[in-house]
Amino acid sequence: MKVITVRDYNELSAKAGQLITDLIRSKPDCTLGLATGGTPLGTYQYLVERYRAGDITLKDVQTFNLDEYCELPRCHPQSYYRFMHDNLFQHVDLQAENMHIPCTEGGDPQSQCDSYNTLLNSTTVDLQLLGIGSNGHIGFCEPGTPFTRETFLTRLSDKTRQDNQRFFNSLEEVPTTAITMGIKNILQARSILLIASGRGKAECVAQMINGPITEQVPASALRQHPNVTVILDQDAAALL
Ligand code: GLP
């Protein structure tokens, strides 16, 4: 695990965005695994700026998102489908057929998990972007998730729902379930880039890097992968 500490969120976003830009320039038809949450916003902004400057095109890039809330229609302002369109997809030349996000609308959740998993297994993600939950979750793989898990229907922990309440009007509005890539899917990527910012992430980051490799800290599974880069701002690195 290569750990890079930068001064602040802006530097973190530029560094992560530069790494993704480098990949897209060297492999224009690469497959990206994408994350949601507050942390990647600056990285997506950076990519949009590089696209507008004519430095990159995403017309042959494929994307696979980590997860999607159940209980929200895709048009809901807090669905990850909307998040990706609002913050990245609508601003670049990515082709609609190349954007993949788990579908949780209608249908049977198990077959939705199975079809997303089949799609994922038909490709190899070149770079998987990740944030980290304050309880050490990645995607929506909560503490206790077996490392062997593939795409599944997950129940969100109380901690995760409280953390994500800031995006909703009340705790009751935060979904209780989601479809997420499993840890096994995440570890199949050729490379992984995890970004974390702020003092609220310092404990989980320290556990991920220096604690035991345990299902209680899902992000600790990343230490079993040969090509992981972690970019932290100084606050997130405070306990290293
Ligand atoms: C959600 C997402 C994760 C993300 C986490 C942290 O739970 N499913 O992929 O890493 O939030 O989000 P934030 O970056 O807002 O702290």
Can you name the residues that pair with 67 across neighbouring β-strands?
A: 180
Give the model's pLDDT for residue 106: 86
Q: Is the pTM of this model over 0.95?
A: yes
Averaged confidence pLDDT in the chain: 98
Residue to substitute in 67, 69, 137, 183 for testing ligand 1 pocket (most ligand atoms within 8 angstroms of CB): 137
Cα–Cα distance, 108 to 228 (Å, whole number) = 34
Q: Give the three-class secondary structure for 198.
A: coil
135 catalytically annotated? yes
Q: What is the DSSP letter of 227?
A: S
Question: Of these residues, 65, 67, 126, 150, which one is catalytic?
Answer: 67
Please report how many Cα atoms fall inside a 13 Å half-sphere around the Cα of residue 109, on the Cβ side: 14
**pLDDT tens digit string along 121-139?**
999 999 999 999 999 999 9
pLDDT at residue 64 tops 90: yes
60 catalytically annotated? no
The number of beta carbons lying within 10 Å of the beta carbon of residue 86 is: 12
Average pLDDT rounded to a whole number, residues 170-196: 98
What type of residue is 147?
A: F
**pLDDT tens digit string along 189-218?**
999 999 999 999 999 999 999 999 999 999
**Domain 2-233 classification at class level:** alpha beta
- Classify burial at 124, counting beta carbons within 10 Å of its beta carbon; exposed 0-12, middle 13-18, buried 19 or more: exposed
Measured from the Cα of 35, ligand 1's closest atom is: 9
Q: Whose CA is nearest to atom 1 of ligand 1?
A: 37
Q: Where are the domains of the chain?
A: 2-233
Nearest CA among 1, 44, 50 for reference residue 206: 1
What type of residue is 67?
A: D
Could you tell me the pLDDT band of residue 57, with boundaries at 50, 70 and 90? very high
CA of 160 to the centre of ligand 1 (A): 8
Q: Whose CA is nearest to atom 6 of ligand 1?
A: 133
Nearest CA among 187, 25, 20 for reference residue 88: 20
Quick one: tokens of 83? 């998040």
